[in-house]
Amino acid sequence: GPKTLSGLVLEYLESFPDGAVGLTVDRYRLEILELGGNIVRTVRARPEAA
């Protein structure tokens, strides 16, 4: 599996987004807030609502 947060995003989305985007991984909602090239710089992670 991926070893970095950037790798995890790339695995799920298959490409880096152009801007803010959200995705669900397991039971967590990840919101990508800041990208620097092909590096995820800032993410907000929350448990998914039950």
Beta bridge partners of 46: 29
35: Cα within 13 Å, side-chain hemisphere: 16
Which pLDDT score, from 0 to 100, does residue 50 have? 73
Which pLDDT score, from 0 to 100, does residue 20 have? 81
End-to-end Cα distance, the chain: 26
| pTM of this structure | 0.77
Tokens representing 10 are 């790339």
Q: Which residues of the chain have pLDDT under 50?
A: none
